[in-house]
Amino acid sequence: MSVKTRWAFAPLEVLTAALAMSLLILLFGAPAKAGDPIKVGFSMAMTGAVAPNGKQLLAALEIWRDDVNSQGGLLGRPVELIYYDDQSNPSNVPGIYTKLITVDHVDLIIGPYATNMVAAAMPVIMQNNKTTISILAIGINRHFEYRRYFSMVPVGPEGVKAFSKGFFELALSQTPQPHTVAMIAADAEFARTAADGARENAKAAGLTIVYDRTYPPSTTEFDSVIRPVQAANADLVFAASYPPDTVGIVRAASELGLAPKMFGGTMVGLLATPIKMQLGPLINGLVIMESFTPAPSFNFPGLSAMLEKYRAKAAGQGIDPLGYQFAPFGYAAGQVLATAVQQTKSLDPDALATYIRAHSFQTVVGDVSYGDDGEWTQPRMLFTQFQNVTGNDLDQFKDTTKQVVLWPLKYKTGQIIYPYSAAIIH
């Protein structure tokens, strides 16, 4: 009997079920088999302003994938990464996440990386009821209040204020005590958000803000940005900047002789080792926010093995050779997601979100647990100062000898050089 004849004499309920299954397969593809990969989707900055950081994170996620697969995968299935270059441009992100969900039919979502990109992805993620673990983004869920959102950034419940709290606490503990502050920030999501927190902290500390301006992200000439800061003659200068403008700000400040009592901020370009090497002695005296450090107190379980793999991988890719500031957070995001999948034996977004919110996770960035807002329950932000940097060699950035941890006290590895001018090597 032909297939067509068998269908003709099948009971109505069987026909209905078969037709429904056929429609589902046409719409969503065939049901996953035991050997089919679990697809993890994300966008990543492979080109553009934050590509130096994005490339580190991709390398870390590839190492995570390989480690998971070497241990049998997730739920007995191999892990496959599906990702697209967002070009460091938030306008590209919604389309990428729409494609990941509706065309690629990824099983799990990670990221994206960076505040600007995460903010752009959230409406698509929320519309599709997905769970995500963003990477190094700040203040996102204060806007969206989404129950399936989690972050991989150590700001904790203080949110955006954590990106500058240590800067101002350090400043107020110095003699003579500062009274005024000048602020500059790129006119983009992360920098504006960091500046918002700095403004709150400065006012709470009783400091007078004498200058507060943003500059376009496309700015390439920074003398015109620094000159009015210099004219304001503030005790403190706080900058919130991306990698390209960090370089411009540091060079312009040096050329113009900017000399406040303390200078630094959330200058994320200085989290990248190649930029530290490029600027060399020009970074002496800067006090900056850090999310990770090679201090012995940060040698969490699994970190050394992950960094060893990262450095072997980085050697052939022209990316940050050390990977301290970004790679651990990419790997840790994968660790949290993998643990939730294995423990729930599920890919269901609600099951994963419920588990993540209720448990603590041992990761290469330490133990991580989440509050109601999807942020870490305990902050672990640091403030460091570059001291006695000479030349442009790599070795001086492998430990905390030339970049000492100042704050918080429990991670402190050295003393601040104050005022800023005393740290400058002429």
The fraction of the chain above a pLDDT of 90, given in percent, is 84
Strands, E assignment, 110-167: 132-135, 149-152
**Nearest partner of 163 among 345, 374, 375, judged by Cα:** 375
Q: Buried (b) or exposed (e) across 386-414, using 16+ Cβ within 10 A?
A: bbebeeeeeebbeebebbbbbbeeebbbe
The residues of the chain that CATH labels 3.40.50.2300 are 38-154+299-369, 160-290+387-423
Region 320-329: mean pLDDT is 95
**Nearest partner of 40 among 93, 81, 100, judged by Cα:** 81
Chain centroid offset of residue 67 CA: 21
Q: What is the pLDDT of residues 263-318, one digit of tens each?
A: 999 998 899 899 999 999 999 999 999 999 999 999 999 999 999 999 999 997 88
Residue 398 · residue 294 · CB < 8 Å: yes
- pLDDT of res. 16: 41
Q: What is the pLDDT of residues 325-377, one digit of tens each?
A: 999 999 999 999 999 999 999 999 999 999 999 999 999 999 999 999 999 99
- pLDDT of res. 237: 98
- Sign of the Cα torsion 243, 194, 240, 169 reads negative
- pLDDT of res. 114: 92
Backbone angles phi, psi at 383, to 5 degrees: -125, 130
pTM of the model: 0.85
DSSP H helices in 205-302 = 223-232, 243-256, 273-279
Q: What is the CATH number of domain 160-290+387-423?
A: 3.40.50.2300
Q: What is the CATH number of domain 38-154+299-369?
A: 3.40.50.2300
- Pull the structure tokens for residue 229: 């800061």
Say whether 42 sits in a helix, a strand or coil. Answer: strand
pLDDT > 70? residue 106: yes
pLDDT > 80? residue 2: no
Q: Is residue 51 within a helix (H) or strand (E), and if so which, with residue range?
A: helix 51-70
Classify the phi-psi angles of 213: left when phi > 0, otherwise alpha if psi is within -120 to 50, otherwise beta. beta
The residues pairing with 288 across neighbouring beta strands, listed in sequence order, are 265, 384
Strands 382-386 and 403-407, sheet pairing: antiparallel
Higher pLDDT, 32 or 166: 166
How far, in Å, are 120, 234, 302 from residue 89 at the CA level? 9, 34, 33
- pLDDT of res. 158: 86
- State the Cα–Cα distance between residues 308 and 303, nearest whole angstrom: 9
Orientation of helix 303-314 relative to helix 51-70, angle to 10°: 120
Strands, E assignment, 220-359: 236-241, 262-267, 287-290
Higher pLDDT, 122 or 52: 122
15 pLDDT band, cuts 50/70/90, is very low
32 pLDDT band, cuts 50/70/90, is low
Residue 74 · residue 117 · CB < 8 Å: no
Backbone angles phi, psi at 386, to 5 degrees: -80, 130
Burial of 206 (0-12, 13-18, 19+ CB in 10 A): exposed
pLDDT > 50? residue 17: no
Q: Buried (b) or exposed (e) across 341-371, using 16+ Cβ within 10 A?
A: beebeebebebbbbbbbeeebebbbbebebe
